[in-house]
Copies of this chain bind each other. A is one copy, B any other.
Amino acid sequence: MPIDKRVASAAEALEGVSDGAVVLCSGFGGAGFANVLIAALCERGTRNLTLVSNSATHRFSFTHQLIEAGLVRRVICSAARGHAAGLSPLEELWKDGKIELTVLPQGSFAESLRAGGAGIPAYYTPAGVGTQLAEGKEIRRFGTRDYLLEEAIIGDLALIRADVADRWGNLSFRHAQANFGPAMATAARLAIAEVRITQDHPIPPTEVQLSGVFVNRVLAVGG
């Protein structure tokens, strides 16, 4: 049968996603948020999620809807601060002990996802050494410098945004849309991309930015 990873609806895309899932959501600075899929996940009401998103309450991302709907029990991110002067819903829930929060340097956040997808359980990095974020983590010297052991992040589900997908699940991205998407797709058991358009014919080999081997389902959402 021809490989065909296209699905007809966001509901179909999310089929099989269970309570307690670790959900990886891409996006940075307004680019690359899979907001159609995130909204559908919210509507689905899947609970007890671990949300892995660089900026957990970015104003352009619907991840804050998941948080406000009480579906998230843990957040892994590099930025957990709301944009307003007051506390964001995430900060309120965190203050009240209702949400667990893990903050990583952004480079370690990205690298731990890449490690998760690349079969590397842990790696050493200089980022965070000598800071509060090193607390409880192993420090080890290589050569003349100290490094921190960081472990891989693996997700049950990745929700990423791309520009074009072909039936093989190959993806191309517009401009800075890729950001955490490729690493998240490789690190998730089920990787779903929402895209502007899907096509029957292949994306030319040199224009593919993420191989369909890493992508399980693609949904055309326009826009």
Contacts and interface: CB of A to CB of B under 8 A. Distances in A.
B126 A124 contact: no
Nearest to A205: B175
A111 interface: yes
Interface in A127-143: 142-143
A206 to B, nearest CB: 7
A128 to B, nearest CB: 12
A151 interface: yes
| Integer count of this chain's copies in the complex | 2
Interface in A113-157: 115, 118-126, 142-143, 145, 147, 151
A19 interface: no
A39 to B, nearest CB: 29
A32 to B, nearest CB: 16
A100 interface: no
Contacts of A143: 121
B125 A119 contact: yes
A145 to B, nearest CB: 8
A126 B118 CA distance: 11
A207 interface: yes
Nearest to A127: B119
Contact of A125 (B111, B120, B124, B142): B120
Interface string A38-80: 0000000000000000000000000000000000000000000
7 contacts: A115-B123, A119-B126, A120-B123, A121-B142, A121-B147, A122-B123, A142-B151
Interface of A: 111, 115, 118-126, 142-143, 145, 147, 151, 206-207
